[in-house]
Structure 1
């Protein structure tokens, strides 16, 4: 097992996921301001869930004797349109899951981290499927009907 490789990978996820979690929180608050309470809860809930993963990754870095960092976050624009946000979030999820599959395979010699990342991957796939299904539902019932379901 290459502990430094594992720490570097986990640090990447700590930074990226903290950034993504905050984006979900801000977007959720925006949807709340629009009265889309179901969608708001979905994304503010993502924030909480993702920060729990950050905690797990930081704990694993600590277990390996590494030091985690507080790294600069890349800014994002608020996406005001809920449907456009689901589309944008789906694109990010697709890229993230592809990278996560690679990381899981690369860390198979570290069973503890492998199991953590495998569980995280399953959680992310669930989020991906939700976004895909939401866009399919929008196509099926129309934008306005879908938005009404988000109230």
Structure 2
């Protein structure tokens, strides 16, 4: 196991996932303001899950002797259109899964880190499947019918 690479990867997760959690909270509030309470609840809950993974990665990085950093985050888009948001969020998940799979394999010899990363990977994969299912459902029943289901 490349301990340095794993520690750098944990820091990347801490930085990026904390921003993702912030983004999900913002999106939840935007969707709530539009009356899409189901989407608002989903993304608010998702942000809580993400914060949990951030905390686990912080704790693990400390356990490994690394220094945790509060790094600057890039500006991210906020969507008013729920469907465009789901498309964007799906792409973020797809892009992240490939990188996360590599990091998880790198940590295979460190069972504690491996377990954290594996659970996080599974959660992200589940999120990607959910987004794909929603987009397929939109194709089948139409945008308006899907939006009504999100009220």
| Map of 2:6 onto structure 1 | 6
The CA distance in 2 between the partners of 1:6 and 1:110, in whole Å, is: 9
- Cα RMSD of the aligned pairs, angstroms, is 0.9
| Map of 2:117 onto structure 1 | 117
| Map of 1:21 onto structure 2 | 21
* SS of aligned partner of 2:73: coil
* SS of aligned partner of 2:27: helix
* Structure 1 position 49 matched with structure 2 position 49: yes
* SS of aligned partner of 1:112: helix
Displacement, 1:62? 1.2
| Map of 2:62 onto structure 1 | 62
Structure 1: tracts of 5 or more residues without a match: none
| Map of 1:98 onto structure 2 | 98
| Map of 1:80 onto structure 2 | 80
* SS of aligned partner of 1:95: helix
Cα distance change of structure 1 residues 94 and 127 upon mapping to structure 2, 3 Å threshold: same
CA contact (8 A) 2:79 2:85 kept: yes
Within-5 A mapping of 1:32-43: 32-43=32-43
The CA distance in 1 between the partners of 2:100 and 2:66, in whole Å, is: 21
Structure 2: tracts of 5 or more residues without a match: none
How many residues are paired up? 151
Residues 21-51 of structure 1, C-alpha deviations (whole Å, 9 max, x = no match): 1111101100000000000011111111100
TM-score w.r.t. length of structure 1: 0.96
Displacement, 1:79? 1.1
Within-5 A mapping of 1:112-151: 112-151=112-151
The CA distance in 1 between the partners of 2:115 and 2:32, in whole Å, is: 35
The CA distance in 2 between the partners of 1:27 and 1:2, in whole Å, is: 36
Q: Detail structure 1 runs of 4+ shifted over 3 Å in the superposition.
A: none
Q: After superposing the two structures, state which structure 1 stretch, 104-113 or 18-27, moved more.
A: 104-113
